[in-house]
Structure 1
Amino acid sequence: MFNLVKWGILSKVLPWTGLFCIVKLGMHWLDFEPWAFDALTGALFSAATFVIALILSGTLTDYRACEGMPSQIANALETIKDTNHTIAARYPDYQPQPLQQALTSVSRSILDWLKDGKEFTVVDDSIDRLNPLLAEILVIDGCAGFVNYIQSEQAKIRSISRQMCGNRDTEFLGAAYVLLWLFLGGSIVALLLIDAERFSENLTVSTFMFTLFVYLLFLIEDLDNPFQYDGKSSVDVGLSPLENVCLKLTIVETPKLE
């Protein structure tokens, strides 16, 4: 419950909430609250809520699609590792260490690209370095099927990592942010200008609504870039599957048939 990452968005919103309260108090003291809550104001809040829900739904859908990408890459790497050990168990003269070290390099390059902001070319290069090692397996009689299977997993790693790169560099719903900002801006202005019989009630409800609107805006922006890893996001996609498989790949084993 007290995980700081979980509360990260709220910690960014609260200063803006404090500023809103100060402005609201100032406008009340200046007696500058000319609006009353009516059907038109209610329609504005309803429209803002609809726009937020629409964009949040679309962003969550894309985020869910991205959430499984590290696991898919980890599964492909581990599948190649298992195939590599199967070949070593079937053909005692085959040395599996070079391919396993190359797989370790692939996993580490992806983690370095995501976490340390390195160029994506290091990922492409590490995946390409698998090809000469696969050519060595082709020399072994009867291993063409193994190579085809490994290459299909290699293509999966390349495809998913490039999708991750595209998702990281582009916004899912960039044009929709214009509509979102328009309705949120209008709703915040309305919250500042609306008067009520009891100011304490007006201030409390307006503050909660403002906090909700701004929180959802920050949440959507975080969800829109699920591969950020800059210490500012609270909803980055977890990389534990990749980290775990990278650790496994560093343990070089050569299984033999009894």
Structure 2
Amino acid sequence: MSSSRTDRIKTTRRLIIVGRVSLAAGGFVLLKSLGNKLGLDVLEMSPLFSALVAASVFLLGFLLNGVLSDYKESEKLPGELASALFLLAMEVKAVSIHTPGAQVQDDLEAIRDLGSSTLRWIKGEIITDQVMSSYELTYAHMVKASTWLAHSSLKGQLMIEMAAIMRCLNRIEVIRETDFAAMVYLLAYSAASILCAGLALIKTDTTSFYNNSFFLFSLAWLLIFILHLISDLDNPFGFSDMASAEDVDLTILESTQIKLEKIC
């Protein structure tokens, strides 16, 4: 995927996200208008309101700090995968130098196919079982390639690179499937909902209705947007999710795949 196309997709997804957040925030303003007409705005402004705001901000800050640290770690994984794949290909190519006459073309093609499968898997185009099947096939080819080496340390290096690839694949799978502190997520969503609903049901007179509606919309928009951002950052490999716009950069992995094609 070209850089310009990737940027266009991200921009489109961000615009969709902003639209959805605005609609959700507008829903609380509509709730306030409905409550005002039906006489459901029975709550009074209380000093406890500031405590609820502080609790919500604390929870959001805790979540955001946690997912950002995981996101920073995830940014390294495409580079580590690209390095392992490229070094593996170069080492297999060197087998024919260590052992003249060694046939390693099929082994190089297996590495190329593994790189392609890995890239497609990260983008959500194939399932985990498929990329693991490709890995197992490549591992068998590496064992075959190592038989051409007698006492070279390169034999062990092939297995080291394969182990590095497996660690990266497993780490990506864990990040995808694991939510950061699910109970804290529940608390944050609950606190934000209670806060916005409470603001929608606070008593207001006619002169302050529009003023309060504006601040309700602004606060709800910010809270919902931050919650969506946290959820998005929690899965940096959500390329197949149209609601995900903040994913790790795969440029290094894509350029490495082009190099693998040339090597083969």
Output the TM-score relative to the length of structure 2: 0.85
Identity %: 25
1:161-197, Cα deviation, whole Å (9 max, x unpaired): 0121122222122222221122112111221123456
In 2, the alpha carbon distance for the partners of 1:59 and 1:129 equals 34
Amino acid at match of 1:72: E
Q: What is residue 50 of structure 1 aligned with on the other side?
A: 58
CA distance in 1, matches of 2:118, 2:186: 33
Q: Choose the corresponding residue for 1:70, options 64, 73, 78.
A: 78
CA contact (8 A) 1:88 1:95 kept: yes
Q: Hey, what does 1:224 align to over in structure 2? A: 234
What amino acid maps onto 2:248 in structure 1? V
Name the residue aligned to 2:253: 242
Which structure: greater helix fraction?
Answer: 2
Secondary structure at the counterpart of residue 28 of structure 1: helix
1:129 deviates by 2.0
Matched to 1:251, the amino acid is K
Please give the alpha-carbon distance, in whole angstroms, between the structure 1 residues aligned to 2:215 and 2:263: 61
Aligned to 1:107: 115
The answer as to 2:43 corresponding to 1:35 is yes
Equivalent residues of 1:9, 1:219 under 8 A apart: no
State the alpha-carbon separation in 2 of the partners of residues 141 and 91 from structure 1.
Answer: 7
- After TM superposition, give the deviation of residue 42 of structure 1 in Å: 0.8
Structure 2: how far apart are the matches of 1:100 and 1:137? 10
Give the RMSD, CA atoms, in angstroms.
2.4
For structure 1, list consecutive stretches of 5 or more residues without a partner in the other structure. Answer: 254-258
| Aligned partner of residue 123 in structure 2, secondary structure | helix
Q: Is the 8 A contact 1:138 1:144 kept in 2?
A: no
Task: Give the conservation status (yes or no) of the 8 Å contact 1:223–1:236.
Answer: yes
The separation in 1 between residues aligned to 2:53 and 2:129, in whole angstroms, is 46
Say whether 1:23 aligns with 2:68: no
Q: Give the conservation status (yes or no) of the 8 Å contact 2:95–2:148.
A: no
CA, structure 1 residues 131+189, in 2 after alignment: closer, same or farther (shift >3 Å)? Answer: closer
SS of corresponding position for 2:12: coil
- Among residues 163, 184, 200, which one is paired with 1:192 in the alignment? 200
Q: TM-score, normalised by structure 1?
A: 0.87
User: Partners of 1:70 and 1:194 in 2: how far apart?
Assistant: 49
For 1:256, the equivalent position in structure 2 comes to: none
> 2 CA distance for matches of 1:135 and 1:44?
60
Distance (Å, rounded) in 2 between the aligned partners of 1:68 and 1:224: 15
Decide whether the 8 Å contact of 1:59 with 1:173 is kept in 2. no
Q: What is the alpha-carbon distance in structure 2 between the residues aligned to residue 166 and residue 141 of structure 1?
A: 35
| Matches for 1:143-222 after TM superposition, within 5 Å | 144-195=152-203, 198-222=208-232
Specify whether residues 221 and 28 from structure 1 end up closer, same or farther in structure 2 by C-alpha distance, changes over 3 A only: same
Q: How does 1:132-143 map to 2 (within 5 A)?
A: 132-142=140-150
1:11 to 4, 19, 22: 19
Counterpart residue identity of residue 45, structure 1: V
Match for 2:96 among 88, 101, 108?
Answer: 88
Question: What is the alpha-carbon distance in structure 2 between the residues aligned to residue 227 and residue 236 of structure 1?
Answer: 6
Deviation at 1:117, TM superposition (A): 4.6
- Separation in 2, partners of 1:195, 1:226: 42
Query: How many Å apart are 1:141 and its aligned residue?
Result: 4.8
